Structure formats: C-alpha cells, structure tokens
C-alpha cells in the first residue's frame, strides 16, 4: 500500500422538468454532444421503379453513409469516459469565469476545519436533517449582471463557511441565508480552483456549525444524505438520500483529476457546495458534480469532495490563502496491522524509498510502525491521516518494532508527493 494519497433530448419527453428563467447553473454537470443519429430511409412509393443501375448506386451510397455515421457514433461512445466535465445551464445562461472581487477577510487567524475520527450512534434520517440542516446555507453571488446560487456549510460558530469555488468564481458580492431566513453579507477568505473549494466568512457569532467526520471510514453501501438548494432558492433545504456507490473515484474535471466520493443521492442545480452526510450526522463530503448525458439516460451519479481532502486543503487556505505541497514519507506499509505481542501491533514496512525521509531516519523493510506522532496505527489509513496533518519542513516521529525491540525515529519531511511522482 503506497502511503501516498491521490488528490486522485431525444424525441419524446420522458421526464417532467421545472423550467423558469433563472441564474446560471452552479452544479457542475457531465455533458457531451449527441452523436450521429442513424435514420432509416423511407421506402419509395409503390409502383415506382428505378433502373437497376440507379438502385445499385443508391444502395452503395446509403451503405457508405450509414457506415460513416456509425463510425462517428462509435468513436463518440468510445470517448464516453474521457469527455470533460463542465458547467451546464438548463436555462442557457452563460457566464465567463473571472477574478473574485468579493470583499476579503484575512487569513492566518488560527482557524481550522475540525474533522473528527470518531462518531456517535447512527441517527434516523429525521434526526440527521434536524441536526445538519441549520448549518446549511444558501449562497448568493453577484456575477456581472447575473447571480450564482449555490449551497454552503457552516463549520465554525463564528461564521466560517465552506462552498465550491465555482459557486463564487467571478463574483463581486456575496450573501448567505440561514434556514431561519436570517441573511448576512459574506466575505471571501480564500479558494482553490483545482480542488474546487472556497471559504467564506460572515461577521456573526453563535451560528450552528456542522460536525465533520472522516470520509476515510466510508465503505461502498453506506447510507449517505445530501442537503442543498436545488434550482437555487425556492426549494432550499431539500434533503435526498442514497448510498456510497464508490470511494476514491478518480474523475477528470477540466483537465485535472479529482479523487471523489461517488453516490446515488440525487443532486440538482444549486446543490453545489452542499454537504454529503453520513448516518451519524457528520459531513463527510462536499457535493460538487453530477453526471448527465444528452442522449443516455443517466441517473444517480453524483460526486462529492471527501472530507479527507477538505481537511488538508481548507486548513491551508485558512492559514495562508493557498494550498501547500504534501510531504512524502518515503515508505509503503501493509493495509492492516499485525499483532506482534499481547500489547503491541503495527503496520509492516514493505518498501523504503532510498534517499527519502524514512530512509534517512533509518526505517528498514521488515520494521513495524506501531505509532506515528503518538497515534497508534491500526490501518494504513491511520498513517495517511497523520501525514495529512504535516507540511514540508515538519518532523514526524515514528515508534518502530524491530526484532522485538521498540525504537523511536524522527522523519524530516523535506520532499513533496508531487516531486516524487
């Protein structure tokens, strides 16, 4: 197990739609062009005969055209998994990306996004809604002469809010509204277009902050919920449910690869930046993308940014306004810990990269890592969690088991994951 973490119409209406003139789309949607449509030629009127040579010519021409169109359609279908994601508007309102000129709020205030590694008892859907919905806000952004409407999540009681970068992109003014109807002008703290995350701040106290949980604990089949503002405003506070369809799904979005949670919980225009919630009432993802097609019927394919990614990126944005490179440890371990004695268990080291942090610290293949920075390790995900708390230039202590002896080593984290890829 590498310790690295990847920041990896057709005729006949069949769905009733709610249509109205409205601002631009704020949920990114997967779309692609309609391929060539094969149409059967109408039979000639009865009684009309053509000369045999003409029939042969027309038949050959029809076959050639059909083959050409079929080849085009086949090429389109083969490219299905490689088409780009982009913003899509059912109201055909287009806006160009631009700089964010929303009034700013300073970074470096010592604020962090707390992602908990434990949880309480499972809740009913009603309990989840009552617990989380007060923390879900409507985000309204002025973008030129139009507005961008999305969703956000309060993560501190003094008014820090998380949403998608594409919701605020190009914005000049921003307001948020609570489920109580109270509204505030929001300031822009920082954002990262690559990970599609942005932090907003309102000048308020005593706001209901959501609890964030660890997305690394999710498994396929787990129950999840989404709360957001589909279609923008009138349907605010809508909750949908589903399951985790896949974890660590790599999806290419505008030339960049994002590692996302896949879910079949219904997402619609305006859900961008809304929470994906586990059965314990914890936010484990931020809804960002849904898939659609102009000629396939696609349902139940939504994606969310995992809290494991938000944990690192948001803390960087809060501290300095930009994301920092991730350090590399330079070792690979097995997925599960091995019981070494009645009191000790650890992750077996199966590879050490020469010249990197673990090698310099004296870690060897065959060692067992009992703890990292004092945290006991039961799975490789525990080690990844510890690494996400570190930045280039930090040190990380490891407790090792080697041939029955317990050793302490210190890793100096000088290199980044990007530099070693």
Per residue, what are the HEC states of 67-121?
Answer: HHHHHHHHHHHHCHHHCCEEECCCCCCCCCCCCCCCCECCCCCCCCCCEECCCCC
In the three-class reduction of DSSP (H, G, I as helix; E, B as strand; rest coil), residue 187 is classed as: strand
Q: Is 272 a catalytic residue?
A: yes
Buried b (16+ CB within 10 A) or exposed e, 177-212: bbeeeeebebbbbbbbeebbbbbbbbeeeebebbbb
Write out the DSSP string of 337-395: PEE-SSS-EEEEEEEE-TTSHHHHHT--TT-EEEEETTEE-SBHHHHHHHHHT--TT-E
- Catalytic: which of 148, 215, 269, 272? 272
Residue tagged active-site, from 22, 135, 166, 307: 166
Look-up of token digits 């077996």: 348
Q: How many residues are listed for the chain in this entry?
A: 421
Q: In DSSP terms, which residues pair with 327 in a beta bridge? A: 416
Distance CA 382, CA 368 (A): 14
166 classed as catalytic? yes
Selecting among 196, 217, 367, 382, the annotated active-site residue is 196
Q: How far apart are CA 382 and CA 369, in angstroms?
A: 11
Catalytic (active site) residue 320: no
SS3 46: coil
CB 383 within 8 A of CB 370: no
Rounded to 10 deg, the angle between the 380-388 and 307-320 helix axes is 20
Name the residues annotated as catalytic: 166, 196, 272
């Amino acid at each position: 197990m590498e310790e690295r973490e990847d920041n990896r119409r057709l005729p006949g209406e069949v769905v009733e739609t709610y249509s109205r003139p409205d601002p631009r789309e704020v949920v990114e949607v997967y779309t692609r062009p309609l391929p060539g449509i094969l149409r059967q030629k109408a039979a000639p009127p009865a009684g009309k005969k053509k000369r045999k040579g003409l029939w042969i010519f027309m038949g050959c021409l029809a076959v050639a055209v059909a083959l050409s169109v079929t080849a085009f359609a086949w090429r389109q279908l083969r490219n299905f998994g490689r088409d780009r994601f982009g913003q899509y508007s059912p109201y055909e309102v287009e806006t160009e990306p631009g700089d964010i000129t929303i009034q700013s709020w300073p970074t470096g205030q010592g604020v962090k996004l707390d992602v908990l590694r434990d949880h309480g008892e499972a809740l009913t859907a009603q309990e989840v809604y009552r617990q989380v919905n007060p923390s879900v806000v409507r985000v309204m952004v002025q973008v030129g002469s139009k507005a961008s409407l999305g969703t956000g999540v309060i993560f501190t009681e003094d008014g820090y809010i998380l949403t998608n970068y594409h919701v605020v992109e190009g914005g000049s003014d921003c307001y948020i509204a609570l489920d109580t109807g109270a509204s505030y002008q929001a300031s822009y703290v920082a954002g990262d277009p690559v990970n599609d995350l942005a932090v907003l701040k309102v000048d308020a106290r005593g706001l209901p902050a959501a609890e964030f949980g660890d997305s690394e604990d999710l498994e396929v089949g787990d129950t999840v919920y989404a709360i957001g503002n589909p279609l923008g405003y009138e349907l605010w506070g809508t909750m949908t449910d589903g399951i985790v369809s896949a974890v660590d799904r790599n999806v290419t979005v505008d030339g960049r690869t994002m590692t996302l949670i896949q879910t079949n919980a219904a997402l619609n225009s305006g859900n961008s930046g809304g929470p994906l919630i586990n059965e314990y009432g914890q936010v484990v993802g931020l809804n960002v993308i849904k898939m659609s097609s102009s000629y396939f019927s696609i349902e139940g394919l939504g994606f969310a940014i995992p809290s494991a990614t938000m944990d690192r990126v948001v803390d960087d944005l809060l501290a300095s306004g930009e994301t920092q490179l991730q350090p590399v440890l330079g070792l690979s371990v097995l997925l599960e810990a091995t019981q070494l004695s009645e009191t000790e268990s650890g992750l077996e080291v199966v590879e050490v990269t020469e010249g990197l942090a673990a090698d310099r610290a004296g870690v060897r293949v065959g060692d067992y890592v009992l703890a990292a920075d004092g945290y006991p390790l039961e799975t490789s995900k525990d080690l990844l969690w510890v690494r996400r708390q570190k930045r280039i230039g930090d040190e990380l202590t490891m407790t090792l088991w080697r041939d029955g002896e317990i050793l302490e080593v210190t890793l100096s984290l000088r290199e980044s994951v990007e530099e070693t890829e």
